[in-house]
Amino acid sequence: MKPSEAVVTARGISKTFGKGGVTALQDIELDVGRGEFISLIGPSGCGKSTLLRVIGDLVDPTSGEIRVNGKSARQARLDRDYGIVFQSAVLYDWRTVAKNIALPLELMGFNRAERAARVQELLSLVELDGFEKHYPWQLSGGMQQRVSIARALSFTPALLLMDEPFGALDEMTRERMNDELLRIWTEIRSTVIFVTHSITEAVYLSTRVVVMSPRPGRITSVLPIDLEQPRTRETREDPRFFELVTEVREALHAGGADDVVEEPEVVE
Amino acid sequence: MSTLAHPASGRRNTQRVRKWGPAAIVFGIGMALWQWVLPALGVERYLLPPLSDVLQAFWDNRSELVRGGWITFKEALGGFVLGCSLAFGFALVLARWRPLGSALMPYMIAANAVPIVAFAPITNAWFGTLSPWSKVVIAAVLCFFPVLVNTLRGLTSLRPESLELMRSYAAPQRVVFARARIPNSLPFVFSALKIASVLAMIGAVVGDYFGGSTEALGVQIVSSVSLAQYETAWAAILVASLIGIAFYAAVALAERLVVGWHPSIRAGVD
Ligand SMILES: Nc1ncnc2c1ncn2[C@@H]1O[C@H](COP(=O)(O)OP(=O)(O)OP(=O)(O)O)[C@@H](O)[C@H]1O
Ligand SMILES: [Mg+2]
């Protein structure tokens, strides 16, 4: 990858919370190329959310530098290069589903008709047609998270930062949302940094999997995922898929991540 | 009009009876106690005259009492609007510039503990006994602190992610307030406004006690008592109570319309 193609470059990123407190991140070096799909995986508390927040300029690193699209992270944020999906849905209770999705469009000055059309597209994308007038409390947790995904996609940001977006979904919906996300990713040609606890999800979605380990949070390995694009149902049955799942699992264990949650796999 | 109710509306009526029935029974018992039991127990008329006499006094003095009620209500409303809007504006400033908030908040809380009606004779001296402004100011000061403290809490009690979301859109402070902080504060603001509606009436009536236009309701209460017209005094108190309840109910209705999305309200809606 040529440096000019890098969307995100992280150089020596460390983050310590409080004076002499938790070292959430230590010496993170990461390059993310344009159009990549990167998954961050690692045990709870290893700094995945923190890394995402540092990249998104929501927290300042204690040391090190982040560049996004050749700019500082701050400038990238001011240019609205990011679409963020938080670990919890973070919807505004006083806004309907449609208005929650349209929030960034409102702030970016799209007119009413453009917003309405876009909201309809996004609603069907996340399979919530007919729910536009509902309030967040009238939706299940998984539906709320899909609203927040639709909101992040609404302005087709160049860089999507997603923190365990599908954690609240059942396995079936999760696989469907995975396929949708991949479709959107190829369609809008965006770059995705995706946090997950699921090894299979990471392997299925990613072009590279970044394995992290805790105390202090650091990157222990980066595994390229050489599965064919586009990924389909067959991908999940590909022997190479299982090899890669095993590779990631071993990398996690090598990083001392014995407490990683693994979902049971169907043995064929 | 048919007396045969539609089955669904019949069910709704049954529900309504079930909901309001107990309260209505308690009301009836209370009124009966007042009318018959208290006099039978020998409670003197200067302590509490029988209900029917109070109602009679209301009827005989209805035009003075309604006019007095209107005057005092205007004082309360003026104080409510003045105190609440100043408090809201002040809360916005303190939420926007937090160091200012932390510098001033201890004094605000201390001032909140001051028995403000103690100032009523003083405000009469400031504005003149006959001026409605002395009552408006008492009512306004009473409203100010609960609205300030609650609004400030509402403006600052967002989940960090709600603000990070705005930050990720590079939203300026003006937008953060308009789209996130102020909507988030509204349920807090309305609980404070309900408290303030009650306090405003108290402020206005107590303000009247220390002098005012002879027509004002509080002045009528004081003068009726001094003339031993206890029935009239009680009738005036009744009017003040009804105004207070109506004021509160109006604010509660506005709350329903404005913050219908909030959990505390939506439990009641449906
Ligand atoms: N605002 C904060 N203040 C203090 N410590 C924090 C803060 N945010 C995170 N931490 C600490 O930093 C470490 C990493 O947290 P982070 O949320 O990034 O973990 P994570 O990998 O996202 O975990 P999970 O998988 O459970 O979401 C944790 O030890 C946490 O206690
Ligand atoms: Mg996290």
Q: Which tens digits make up the pLDDT trace of A83-104?
A: 999 988 899 999 999 999 999 9
Does the Cβ of A47 fall within 6 Å of ligand 1? yes
If asked whether residues B113 and B36 sit together in one domain, one would say no
Residue B70 CB-density burial (10 A; 0-12 exposed, 13-18 middle, 19+ buried)? middle
Same domain? A138 vs A114: yes
Average pLDDT over residues A254-261: 60
> Same structural domain for residues B165 and B196?
yes
Residue in B168, B262, B266 nearest the CB of A84: B168
Please give the residue range of the domain that contains residue A228. Answer: 1-81+160-268
Q: What are phi and psi of B97, to 5 degrees?
A: -115, 85
Q: Quick one: A71 and A185 in the same domain?
A: yes
Instruction: Give the model confidence (pLDDT) of A148-205 as tens digits.
Output: 999 998 988 889 999 999 887 888 888 888 988 898 888 878 899 999 999 999 999 9
User: Measured between CA atoms, how close is B188 to chain A, in angstroms?
Assistant: 14
Backbone angle region of A215, left / alpha / beta, with phi > 0 → left and psi within -120 to 50 → alpha: left
- Of the partner residues B161, B175, B184, the one whose CB lies closest to the CB of residue A90: B161
Tally the domains of chain B: 2
Q: Is the pLDDT of residue B147 over 90?
A: yes
Size of interface A-B (CB pairs under 8 A): 53
Backbone φ/ψ region at A70: left (φ over 0), alpha (ψ -120 to 50), beta: left
Dist. CA B244–CA B232, nearest whole Å? 18
ipTM of the complex: 0.86
In the chain, the amino acid numbered A64 is G
The alpha carbon of A26 and the centre of ligand 1 are apart by a number of angstroms equal to 13
Same domain, A40 and A169: yes
> If you average pLDDT over each of B42-51, B125-134, B177-186, which comes out highest?
B177-186
**Domain co-membership, A9 together with A114:** no
Same domain membership, residue B132 and residue B236: yes
Residue A79 has pLDDT above 50, yes or no: yes
- Looking at the structure, do residues A173 and A265 belong to the same domain, yes or no? yes
Helices B133-156/B98-112 angle, 10° precision: 130
Residue with tokens 């009526």: B13
Q: How far is CA A99 from CA A141, A186, B128, B252, in A?
A: 18, 26, 52, 26
Looking at the fold, whether B28 and B103 belong to one and the same domain comes out as no
User: Half-sphere exposure of B257 toward its Cβ, with a 13 Å CA cutoff?
Assistant: 6
Which of A107, A138, A156 is the last residue before a domain boundary?
A156
- If asked whether residues B230 and B251 sit together in one domain, one would say yes
Q: Is B258 touching A (CB cutoff 8 A)?
A: no
Confidence band, pLDDT 50/70/90 cuts, at residue B6 = low
Same domain for B26 and B141, yes or no, is no
B270 has a pLDDT exceeding 60 = no
Same-domain pairing of A194 and A242: yes
Token pair of B251, please?
Answer: 């604010």
pLDDT at A3 exceeding the cut of 80: no
Record: contact A58-B167, CB cut-off 8 A: yes
Q: How many domains does chain A have?
A: 2
Pocket test for ligand 1, best of A28, A49, A195 (most atoms within 8 A of CB): A49
- Chain A residues with CB under 8 Å of B266 CB are 135, 137
* Cα–ligand 1 centroid distance for A155 (angstroms): 28
The per-residue pLDDT for B2 is 43
B151-170, pLDDT tens digit by residue?
A: 999 999 999 999 999 999 99
Whether B168 and chain A come into contact, CB under 8 Å, resolves to yes
Compute, in angstroms, the gap from residue A49 CA to the centroid of ligand 2.
4
Residues A2 and A102 reside in one and the same domain: no
What value does the mean pLDDT take over residues A40-67?
92
Q: Are A108 and A80 contacting, i.e. CB atoms less than 8 angstroms apart?
A: yes
Q: Provide the pLDDT for residue A264.
A: 47
User: Does residue A171 lie in a domain region?
Assistant: yes
The answer on B185 and B86 residing in a single domain is yes
Residues B17 and B80 in one domain: no
Over pLDDT 90: what percentage of chain B? Answer: 53
Q: Tell me whether residues B261 and A56 touch, CB distance under 8 A.
A: no
Q: What is the pLDDT of residue A256?
A: 67
Tell me, yes or no, whether A87 lies in a domain: no
pLDDT at B143: 93
**How far apart, in whole angstroms, are the C-alpha atoms of residue A32 and residue A17?**
25
Range of the domain at B199: 49-269
The verdict on B53 and B118 lying in the same domain is: yes
**A57 contacts in B (CB within 8 Å)?**
167
- Are A201 and A225 contacting, i.e. CB atoms less than 8 angstroms apart? no
Residues B34, B53 within the same domain: no
Rg (CA), chain A: 18
Q: Give the pLDDT score at A127.
A: 84
